[in-house]
Structure 1
């Protein structure tokens, strides 16, 4: 596993069968004035990029882009993937997942089919990210789709209602 820093955000990669799986990437919405994701990546001094599309609230197709620089690629990897984009179909339209990445954890969430979080950190950092996510997003009617390690107790991250007297 390799840890890196991207725009003051930590991200990590796990290598399996010469494939690098990145977690904690900094996703940006492709500005409307940009021609495509490739030119946007080049303008940001990145040799590689990952992208995904989504429908915004006005039902327009938007593209999210994450940049990867050559120096961020782990040695021995011949291809690279985003763990968030692999997990997203499992938690759509509204859900979140926590996955173990060695000594770290990854947190991925989506709301209305849009990727909201792709975060990596220690257990307390991920618990904090989960708490913030749950506080700022209303629970959808059918509830959240969620995946987490069996050892993970999310009850401490759930928002508490205050009993006012």
Structure 2
């Protein structure tokens, strides 16, 4: 029985197997997928469509090597808004992050910081100029930014 506010969906072992295969091989044919999860193609297709309808599978995408597209600097950036900033500042910051092409991911987090960003900039000067613009924007109410340049990728979500 699901608790109030619990959005998890009960999946059987075949659904879980389908998800695991698609997580790593999103372009696999239904024929090959059905063979991998020991199901005939039609029921396999129906299960995938059900998982899509339920929102478990939200879409399919390509894994892009950002370093090959935009050489430069990858950073993990932690952002703290001022304590008195309120929801308007959060909305302004989130809109800013969505519209900034250098921000690859933006996550609302708990703890000492409000947001965790993954960013890609040409170099440290590009990052400095960009974040200086953010600091100077009074709508954003940024109190603190801490950046951690990425040295190497040890594991990704698709491995």
Answer whether TM exceeds 0.5 for this pair.
no
- Compute the TM-score of the two structures, normalised by the length of structure 2: 0.27
The structure number with the bigger radius of gyration is 2
- Compute the TM-score of the two structures, normalised by the length of structure 1: 0.27
User: Which structure: greater strand fraction?
Assistant: 1
User: Which structure: greater helix fraction?
Assistant: 2
Whose relative contact order is higher, 1 or 2, with alpha carbons under 8 Å and at least 6 apart? 2
